[in-house]
Homo-oligomer: A and B are copies of this chain.
Amino acid sequence: MEIFQYIDAHQSDFIKDLKEWVAVESDSVQPHLRKEVMRMMALAADRLAALGATVNLVSLGSHQLPDGQVLPLPSVILGELGKDPQNPTVCFYGHVDVQPAKKEDGWNTDPYTLTEIDGNLYGRGATDNKGPVLAWINAVETFRALKLAMPVNFKFVIEGMEEAGSLGLEKLLEEENQSFFSDVDYIVISDNLWLSNKKPALTYGSRGNACFFVEVECGSKDLHSGTFGGIVHEPLLDLIALLDSLVDSTGHIQIPGIYDSVAALTEEERKLYELIEFDLEEHRNNCGVKKFLYDTKEEILLHLWRYPSLSIHGIEGAFHEPGIKTVIPAKVIGKFSIRQVPHMDLSVVKKQVVEHLEGVFSKRNSPNKLKVSMPLGAKPWLADVNDVLYKAARRAIKTVFGEDPDFIRDGSTIPVARMFQTVTQKSVMMLPIGAADAGEHSQNEKISRHNYIEGTKLFAAFFLEISKLHRNLHETSHTETIN
């Protein structure tokens, strides 16, 4: 196939492009590097313009750091290429800022000099997210260079603050929802990794996150355990009893009703889990624990992705330093979160948590003040794997890699997928090209030459498949309308 041949023949050019991008220390976390983020955004905008895209740099204003310093936010690139009404419009989201990296952190090579060793391209941003952004651009470029008709209309959302919380992005999406996004059919994000080192994956969901604060207070001042130990209802004892009521030792959440709305596992879904390539032993070794709560791959993945979990993170206000302090803390705040899943409703979850904790607390006859709040509630995200978007990607993967992908979810919240989904209500897909061992956010981040180049082919193949499937769908709808 001409397209794949072109991509293979231009490997060196594509890697040269990536080397040029990695060389820019576009670290959005450290304020003194903000100008490098700006420089990176300009590079990306030029690259899109060279494709023939119209490029609009939308200013997001500035933000204030905790120390009072005011910094300009990098503009977000909104790009458009092609307006053929026969074509579907696919919007690609990516970011060109990176996490901080220093050679001294334990890198074997300079993090800002892309270096190939044994087929791996090492450098900060190689996989997160400069590599995938360039692979997409280079896939588009391939059609242009070969003077082929563009199978889809492209839109681009490229930002420079992802690693610092995507400040201002959600507001921009809301503002552009009726204009830039109005004719978008599909949204593709390639900012995550496969589950394994070798087998491609498609990500179709992530859990939400409902964070809770449980505050127990006996008064305004901390007390001394010598002077008051034994005669007061200690807030920390109340809090510990409350926290101890949340989960049993098998990991089962004890809040009444909490599992009521969890979507039932279908047979079709169970089969997806059986097919997934996942090395339980390796996963266990990576995290360092002796034993998981479950023994089989299927159970582990089900409990990580599609069942809720409750984790306790810590306590604010109690003694937390090394050594001893014989204090009775007057006000303590327990922090825990529930990774919730479809179709749990955030407001119902909150009500169940509050009622449960108030019930446990009332049995203690404590004169202390209890306050339960949910300072953060992020919804889960779940796409339909039978959507044409996923069908097209699956076919493209089969074409390029010769096998079906793992259909995977993420146990964590993926804010950007949820954000695009919630604001635009379009079909969103996470289409990763990096392998599980790519080390995003870590020392020695990399993308393999194989994944970078085959990933470029995957995107090109995907353009053709989604174009075909979308047209079919459109024609079928049309026919149906006539019948």
Contacts and interface: CB of A to CB of B under 8 A. Distances in A.
Interface in A320-340: 320-322, 324-330, 335, 337, 339
A223 B287 contact: yes
Nearest to A329: B314
* Interface size class, chain A: 35 or more
- How many identical chains are in the complex? 2
Given A304-B230, A330-B288, A324 B320 contact: no
A229 interface: yes
Given A237-B249, A322-B316, A304 B231 contact: yes
A347 to B, nearest CB: 19
A172 interface: no
A310 B326 CA distance: 11
A365 interface: yes
Given A211-B324, A219-B289, A289-B367, A413 B311 contact: no
Of A234, A244, A314, A368, most B-chain CB atoms within 10 Å: A314
A247 B231 CA distance: 13
A376 B243 contact: no
Of A206, A223, A237, A315, most B-chain CB atoms within 10 Å: A237
A220 B221 CA distance: 36
29 contacts: A207-B226, A219-B290, A220-B288, A221-B288, A225-B309, A225-B311, A225-B313, A225-B339, A226-B339, A226-B413, A227-B287, A228-B304, A229-B304, A230-B251, A230-B339, A230-B411, A231-B304, A233-B291, A234-B311, A240-B243, A249-B366, A288-B330, A289-B367, A290-B368, A313-B325, A313-B326, A313-B327, A315-B320, A316-B320
The 10 A-B residue pairs with the shortest CB-CB distance, nearest first, are A226-B412, A219-B288, A230-B309, A314-B319, A314-B318, A291-B367, A320-B320, A244-B244, A229-B309, A290-B367
Interface of A: 206-207, 209, 211, 218-221, 223-234, 236-238, 240-241, 243-244, 247, 249, 251, 287-294, 300, 303-304, 307-316, 318-322, 324-330, 335, 337, 339, 363-368, 375-376, 410-413
